[in-house]
Amino acid sequence: MGMFYNNAVCDIYIGKSAGAKLLQDIRNAKRNVKIVSPYLSPSLIKELIFLHSKGIDVQLITSDEIEDFYGNDKNINKLIVQKRHVDEKAKQSRDGLVNLSGTLLFAVIGLAVILFPLIFLLENWNFAYGFIAVVLLFFIRDSLVRQIKNKKIYYYTYKQLFPFKVFISSNNGNSLNKTFVHSKIYVIDDEIAYLGSLNFTGKGIKSNHETRIRTADPNAVGRIVEEVNHLFSESNLAERDLQFWGSQLYTEPIN
């Protein structure tokens, strides 16, 4: 798609703290917030999560080159919700193995307790052959314990906390995308729009020397909203698969 709009009424800001007014408008949103930013900071993701918790519709477009993605406080983990499901048939099978394992353990201990007195009190070493059965039962139980540990009874699915797109960067050698979504666009309540250089990051909002414009021109904002909606729904750019990515981001204990 793409757009050109002439004679929009707007204000311009250049310098540090370019995002102060932007963040204020986002926090004061009444209905919805739309953000396009290839880089994100965890602290600002928390702002979006808070808005979502208040019932504000949030829509986010970003890239897989998210800032701090490889740090301890991963942005994307806050936006992907893991749900654990139980395979009931597998669980019943595992429970049966657990019960059998317990029975075998009782048999191993009980047989050993019986054999020792028989051997030493009756001084009949023929009873020692009974320990062959004890050893066999021990190895059978050991095999069951390994099966129990490897029995998969849980499987996992993932969903988005709120609608977002993570487009695969064209910097990725395996990416089919020829276009890197480098735009920084912010729309609040479909009434206010920001364009400029600042990413939705702590440095972009506060300390970097950035440029931005802010407009409440209804026609201009309407055109910007159309462009963002098109990018979200009809861009046909390759994006991260939610289910696969979730399995890479989260641990998935099998039982």
Res 122: pLDDT: 65
Residue partners of 230: CB distance under 8 A and separation at least 6:
1
How confident is the model at residue 215, as a pLDDT? 96
Is residue 221 domain-shared with residue 243, that is, in the same domain?
yes
Q: Do 175 and 76 share a structural domain? A: yes
- The closest alpha carbon to 23, from 143, 148, 194, 179, belongs to 194
Q: Are residues 75 and 160 in the same domain?
A: yes
- From 97, 127, 151, the end of a domain falls on 151
CATH of the domain at 45: 3.30.870.10
What are residue 109's phi and psi, to 5 degrees? -65, -45
pLDDT, averaged per 10 consecutive residues of the chain (255 residues), comes to 78 91 95 95 90 96 70 72 93 90 87 75 68 84 90 93 88 66 95 95 91 95 95 87 85 88
Q: What is the dihedral of CA 39, 44, 46, 47, to 10 degrees?
A: -130
pLDDT digits (tens, 9 = 90+) for 140-168: 999 989 999 999 999 999 999 999 998 88
| Structural domain contains residue 97 | yes
Q: Are residues 61 and 39 part of one domain?
A: yes
The pTM of this model reads 0.77
Q: Are residues 59 and 138 in the same domain?
A: no
Count of domains observed in the chain: 2
Whether residue 161 sits in one domain with residue 75: yes
Containing domain of residue 51, as a range?
11-81+156-247
Q: 69 and 97: one domain? A: no
Q: Based on the fold, state whether residues 168 and 143 are members of the same structural domain.
A: no
What are the tens digits of pLDDT across the range 51-95?
999 999 999 999 877 655 555 566 677 889 999 999 999 989 988
